Amino acid sequence: MLSARDAALAAGLLAVAVALPSIRNGFVSDDRWVIVERPLLVHPPSLGAVLREPYWPAGFGGVTWRPAVLVSYALDYRLGGSPTWFHLVNVLWAGVAAALLTVLACQLADVRTGLVAGLLFAVHPVHVEAVANVVGRAEPMAAAGYAAALLCALQVGRQRGYLLGVVLAAAFAIASKEHAVTLPAAILLVLLARRVRPGAAVLPALAATVPIAAYFVLRGVYTTGRFASGGLALGLEHLNLFQRAWAMIPISLQWWRLLLFPAHLSADYSPGELVVSTAFTLTHLLGLALWIAAGWAAWHWRARVPGLALGLVWLVVTVSPVANVVIPTEVLVAERTLYLPSWGICFALAAVGMAVPWPTRARVALLAAVLVAGAGRTLVRIPAWHDDEAQYRALTRDAPRSYRTLWLQGKDEFAAGHWGSGEQLLRESIALAPQVAGPRLDLARYYATAGLWRPALEQLRAATAVDSALVPAWALLPRALLGAGDTTGAVAAAREALRRFPSDAAVMREARAVLNAAPRR
């Protein structure tokens, strides 16, 4: 007879098998800043030094703290160190997360429903970015801790000693990714779904709250203390909570598409590909209608198909940290952030599938077709994260209108000597994302190379207005002012750059060159 252990083993092994081709991938994009160019991880002076280190290097703001993930990277350097090893560890974490979440599904429903949910989760294509990209490891690690905490919480009513398991698993989850802040709410959801008395459900939720609260206290000590992982998502600047909620309604259609019909995947969902609007549009109506329909279905079938309601509420709870409503984040949509929310959809689909009075053969055939389609899409997508060139090709194919794609294409055109098209592409990128300093800085550099100092100065001033801590812009600004004929401004900018960044080599070199070249009075 099928047991929860058998179901977990099947789902875990399937997740490993589907993700295993990613071990051929190398380090891509953010892997370099977080992992490769981090001497602290290669040769850590102590465990404490790694635990105190912000997740992103200081040059990226140092506002995120994920000590469990950084420790795992440091351990990888000790045990292997090659990209293959790093990716293999990601694959194993994907298997662990799938297995634990399958056990959770079995405990919340029956074993057959749990198996179906686990298998669907194991092959979901939206997981590729989290598993095939090394820095995506935070997602399966946090999901594993999240599931372990919930499994312990389900046992607290039988044995109070499991409260310690809740605390430890919650600590691991929140130390892996800050999205685990929703764990206390998920514990209440799961226990109430199991008809545990509300009073008895509070204790495990409080046990999970303790390490989460401690995490944020320590995060305030070791980082800048902000909750968000960086700036505000492009297009949401200057919007209040209610405006952000309204703007995200049509964008949330992307969540539903990725979770239910993930045929088209992309590493970028930036302005150009997505439109942020606070107007009253057709897509707003569609988004509202979909959420209302989901809520109605959950309520209407709560008795007959309780798994549907549980899965949809899970989606709302776990997607809330990246919804840009209560907690602003720096991305509108990212596939990796749907890793944990996708379990809710898989569980809801499994519950509905088991409740529909179809012949067993039809159910098995449908499940097999979905699993083959999901696994196939995953396997096809994994090579998009093989290296920077592969990712760039995927980006131009999947998100051709994104400001980020236009930015990269513009740089390529300049590198190829096609300055006219390069300038046009960078200006299009700037128009789509005026609050991003990078395209402006690159365009200013090209102008400076051509001796076009006034347009270079225009872009540099705009870049430093957007990001006052952009060191390369401050390094170039004094020379641009001098080239444009503003000697007084050049001297003032050189002194200001030295005041702001006294230890930066590029700033010191450029500022001193301008100060030496400026006529003395």
3-state secondary structure 171-239: HHHHHHCHHHHHHHHHHHHHHHHCCCCHHHHHHHHHHHHHHHHHHHHHHHHHCCCCCCCCCCCCCCCCC
Q: Which of 362, 101, 126, 124 is nearest to 267 (CA)?
A: 126
Q: What is the pLDDT at residue 323?
A: 94
Instruction: Name, in order, each residue with C-beta under 8 angstroms of 56's C-beta and a sequence gap of 6 or more.
Output: 33, 34, 62, 63, 64, 229, 230
Amino acid at 230: G
In the chain, count of helices (H) and strands (E)?
25, 0
More confident residue, 229 or 48: 48
Q: Which domains does the chain have, with CATH numbers?
A: 4-388 (no CATH), 434-517 (1.25.40.10)
| Percent of the chain at pLDDT exceeding 90 | 82
Amino acid at 424: Q
Q: What is the pLDDT at residue 112?
A: 96
Categorize the per-residue pLDDT at 282 as very low, low, confident or very high, splitting at 50, 70 and 90. very high
- Mean pLDDT on 101-126: 98
Instruction: Name, in order, each residue with C-beta under 8 angstroms of 130's C-beta and a sequence gap of 6 or more.
Output: 94, 136, 137, 139, 140, 335, 336, 339
Instruction: Name, in order, each residue with C-beta under 8 angstroms of 127's C-beta and a sequence gap of 6 or more.
Output: 19, 94, 139, 339, 342, 378
Euclidean distance between CA atoms 366 and 369, whole angstroms: 5
* 271: β partners: 274
Q: What is the pLDDT at residue 90?
A: 98
Left (φ > 0), alpha (ψ -120 to 50) or beta: where does 4 sit? alpha
Amino acid at 23: I
Say yes or no to pLDDT of 278 above 60: yes
Q: What is the pLDDT at residue 9?
A: 98
Would you tell me how many other CB atoms lie within 10 Å of the CB of residue 24?
Answer: 13
Euclidean distance between CA atoms 377 and 238, whole angstroms: 38
* 274: β partners: 271
Euclidean distance between CA atoms 247 and 333, whole angstroms: 13
- Do the beta carbons of residue 221 and residue 182 sit within 8 Å? no
Token code pair at residue 46: 């102590």
What is the tens place of the pLDDT at every residue in 198-211? 888 999 999 999 99
Say yes or no to pLDDT of 480 above 80: yes
- Do the beta carbons of residue 170 and residue 211 sit within 8 Å? yes
Dihedral sign computed on CA atoms, order 130, 133, 136, 141: positive
- Do the beta carbons of residue 227 and residue 190 sit within 8 Å? no
Q: What is the pLDDT at residue 227?
A: 46
Among 14-23, 106-115, 319-328, 379-388, where is mean pLDDT lowest?
Answer: 319-328
Say yes or no to pLDDT of 60 above 70: no
Output the average pLDDT for the chain.
Answer: 93
CA distances from 358 to 2, 117, 355 (A): 21, 18, 9
- Mean pLDDT on 56-69: 81
Would you tell me how many other CB atoms lie within 10 Å of the CB of residue 450?
Answer: 12
- Mean pLDDT on 43-52: 92
Instruction: Name, in order, each residue with C-beta under 8 angstroms of 353's C-beta and a sequence gap of 6 or more.
Output: 116, 363, 366, 367
Q: What is the dihedral of CA 515, 516, 519, 521, to 10 degrees?
A: 70
Q: What is the pLDDT at residue 228?
A: 46
Would you tell me how many other CB atoms lie within 10 Å of the CB of residue 506?
Answer: 14
Query: Which H/E stretch holds residue 490?
Result: helix 487-500
Residue that is written with structure tokens 């459900």 in the block: 201
CA distances from 253 to 238, 259, 262, 285 (A): 23, 10, 12, 11
- Mean pLDDT on 472-479: 93
- Mean pLDDT on 313-332: 92
User: What are phi and psi for residue 506, nearest 5 degrees?
Assistant: -65, -40
Token code pair at residue 194: 């199991």
Say yes or no to pLDDT of 58 above 90: no
Euclidean distance between CA atoms 106 and 116, whole angstroms: 10
- Mean pLDDT on 152-175: 96
Euclidean distance between CA atoms 521 and 482, whole angstroms: 16
Residue that is written with structure tokens 């000597």 in the block: 417
Say yes or no to pLDDT of 142 above 50: yes
Q: What is the pLDDT at residue 229?
A: 45
Burial 256-289 (b: 16+ CB within 10 A, else e): bebbeebeebbbbbbbbbbebeeeeeeebeebee
| Percent of the chain at pLDDT exceeding 70 | 97
Categorize the per-residue pLDDT at 520 as very low, low, confident or very high, splitting at 50, 70 and 90. low
Say yes or no to pLDDT of 119 above 50: yes
Q: What is the pLDDT at residue 327?
A: 82
Categorize the per-residue pLDDT at 24 as very low, low, confident or very high, splitting at 50, 70 and 90. very high
